[in-house]
Each structure stands twice: as structure tokens, then as C-alpha cells.
Structure 1
Amino acid sequence: MFEYVSGANFLGEIIEWTGYAIASRSLPAIAFAIFTACNIGPRAIHHHQWYLNKFQDYPKERKALIPFLL
């Protein structure tokens, strides 16, 4: 997955908490999944920008968080 996105670990955590929220169908779990996405999403974008600025040979086609999109 790291071949497609810089923050594959962040994407995995968002998927994990979203799955937990769907499975538990509870408001706190849904709120936590949303908070996680709102917290980790910008962090993944920031990390991706840092990699692009720090390493000149970093793949330009690689996305930050969601393969082929973001």
C-alpha cells in the first residue's frame, strides 16, 4: 500500500475505526471514527508534503492518503 500512498498506516487506522463504528453502531464509535479521520487526514497530507519537499526523487504520482485520489 505504501507504493500508492505516503500514509498507508493512517489510511489503515481510519478504515479500522470506521469498521468498528459500523460494527458497533454506537454514537461514540461513530464520533471517534469521524474525529480520527479529521485528525489523521491533515497529518497524512502534511507528511506527504514533507516527503515531497525533503526527497527530490520521491514519487510525484504517489498520493497522501487515498490511493489515486488524495
Structure 2
Amino acid sequence: MYNLTQLSDSERMRIELDKQASYTVWKVKNGKVGYEAFAELTNNIEDDDEREFCQQAIIKYKSQMGVN
């Protein structure tokens, strides 16, 4: 078991971005939102490294969930 409060801010942010990417792909797959949700999610991230991480997470989850 992990205590997330002991992680660094950047590690906690990556966990949050991964969750957001997963949820956004799920919403697209289930017709809750359109593909523009991917751009909306990433365009709101100011840090370049965090944005890249989120984009890679989106690619990962799209592949896993069968979203083109």
C-alpha cells in the first residue's frame, strides 16, 4: 500500500493527469463527449512536461480502450 501524500508534487500531478486522461478517453468511448475533449484537456496544461505526459497517457488509454 502506498501513501500518496508522501509523493512529490510532480508525482502526484502525474497520477492526477493519468486519471484525467483515462476518464477523458472513457467519456469519448462512451459518447459522453467528443474528440475535442482531448485538446481541451491538454490545452489547459501549462507545463510542457506535464502536457507531454498527459498526451502519452491519452495515447496509452486510447489503445487500451480501442478508441481511434
Q: Normalising by structure 2, what TM-score?
A: 0.42
Higher relative contact order (CA 8 A, sep 6+): 1
The structure with the largest helix share of the pair is 2
Over alpha carbons, which structure has the higher Rg?
1
